[in-house]
Amino acid sequence: MCETCGCGKPDEFKIHDHNHDHSHEHEHDGHWHSHPHDHAHPPKKVIALNLDILSENNRLAERNRGYFEAKEVLCLNLVSSPGSGKTSILEKTIQALIPSRRIFVIEGDQQTARDADRIEKSGAPAIQINTGSGCHLDANMVHLALKKLEVENHSILFIENVGNLVCPALFDLGEKKRVVVISVTEGDDKPLKYPYMFQSADLCIINKTDLLPYVDFSVESAKNYAKQLNPKLEFILMSAKTGEGMPLWFDWLGKQS
């Protein structure tokens, strides 16, 4: 059980290694098993335990960040609710940039390697983490995936987080920037309902703009709600389907590295 959000079993996740073998290897995080507080205290200790888990995650995230900085890898954490278009955006990005940039992808989903398969078909090496009943990636999962992905110096590493606007907000993965994707079919009030994600993001992609004529979604309202929470948040309107906004996204990527 994840003590922070109650979402899953920490030793349940597995990593699909597309690059080296095609088995469904199970990775276990020794830290979780050896955590001195696990099951050792009555419920009154739960809050302290949660802080322990987040501070330990932050420590591991700093280790990942140091690794990325040493290799001059631009690491971006893509977060959103399920189905907002993260993988579609990555597919288009890889197809457009791969001649000039090396791109690697870590995919997070509860089950299946479908997204990693899509990414590899687009032309970038990818590794899939399945979190089982867990609803977010954590820094240790990323660390273990990095041991297999062999990310090259000066490349871009996209981490597509599990589709969930809640728990991934709490877990720093060591990324340089966090990109939250919302799609126009989700409603323009999402920033108000899930404020932590928008507070912690650097860029907000509003995707599926090709569907704006058919849905009740005010771009201005969504932006205003998000800016109330995070005045520094940047926005890009995008359609992964038509390609609208892609040049702005590529410009933004170019400015980060």
Ligand X SMILES: Nc1nc2c(ncn2[C@@H]2O[C@H](COP(=O)(O)OP(=O)(O)OP(=O)(O)O)[C@@H](O)[C@H]2O)c(=O)[nH]1
**Contact residues for Mg ion, defined by CB under 5 A:** 86-87, 115
In the complex, the smallest distance separating the C-beta of residue 89 from ligand X, rounded to whole angstroms, is: 7
Q: Tell me the two tokens of residue 162.
A: 């599990």
Of positions 80, 93, 110, 128, contacts ligand X by CB under 6 A: 80
CA angle 15, 105, 71 (to 5 degrees): 105
Q: What torsion do the CA atoms of 205, 206, 209, 213 make, to the nearest 10 degrees?
A: -170
Question: Which of 3, 164 has the CB closer to ligand X?
Answer: 164
Interface with ligand X includes 115 (CB under 6 A)? yes
Q: Which does 140 bind (CB under 5 to 8 A by kind): ligand X, Mg ion, none?
A: none
Q: Which does 210 bind (CB under 5 to 8 A by kind): Mg ion, ligand X, none?
A: ligand X
- Write the DSSP assignment of 197-241 as a string of letters: HHHH-SEEEEE-GGGGGGS---HHHHHHHHHHH-TT-EEEE--TT
Question: Which of 130, 230 has the CB closer to Mg ion?
Answer: 130
Residue 229 to residues 38, 152, 239, 245: CA-CA distances in angstroms? 35, 36, 25, 24
Residues of span 181-240 touching ligand X by CB under 6 A: 207-208, 210-211, 239-240
Of positions 10, 163, 168, 245, contacts ligand X by CB under 6 A: 163
Interface with ligand X includes 87 (CB under 6 A)? yes
Chain-centroid distance of CA 85 in Å reads: 12
In the complex, the smallest distance separating the C-beta of residue 71 from Mg ion, rounded to whole angstroms, is: 25
Residues of span 92-111 touching ligand X by CB under 6 A: 109
Residue 107, classed as helix, strand or coil, is: strand
Q: What are the counts of helices (DSSP H) followed by strands (DSSP E) for the chain?
A: 9, 9
Interface with ligand X includes 88 (CB under 6 A)? yes
What is the C-alpha to C-alpha distance for residues 99 and 179, in angstroms, rounded to an integer? 23
Q: Which does 3 bind (CB under 5 to 8 A by kind): ligand X, Mg ion, none?
A: none
Q: Which does 65 bind (CB under 5 to 8 A by kind): ligand X, Mg ion, none?
A: none
Interface with ligand X includes 6 (CB under 6 A)? no
DSSP H or E run through 74: strand 74-80
Interface with ligand X includes 241 (CB under 6 A)? yes
In the complex, the smallest distance separating the C-beta of residue 12 from Mg ion, rounded to whole angstroms, is: 20
Q: Which residues contact 18 (CB under 8 A, 6 or more apart)?
A: 113, 116, 117, 120, 125, 126, 127, 128
What is the C-alpha to C-alpha distance for residues 138 and 168, in angstroms, rounded to an integer? 8
Q: Which of these ranges, 5-13, 77-85, 227-235, 245-253, lies near ligand X under the rule CB under 6 A? A: 77-85
Question: Which of 60, 167 has the CB closer to Mg ion?
Answer: 167
Q: What is the size of the binding site for ligand X (CB under 6 A)?
A: 18
Question: Which of 116, 226 has the CB closer to ligand X?
Answer: 116
What is the C-alpha to C-alpha distance for residues 241 and 177, in angstroms, rounded to an integer? 24
Query: What pairs with residue 235 in β-bridges?
Result: 204
Q: List residues binding ligand X (CB under 6 A).
A: 80, 82-88, 109, 115, 163, 207-208, 210-211, 239-241
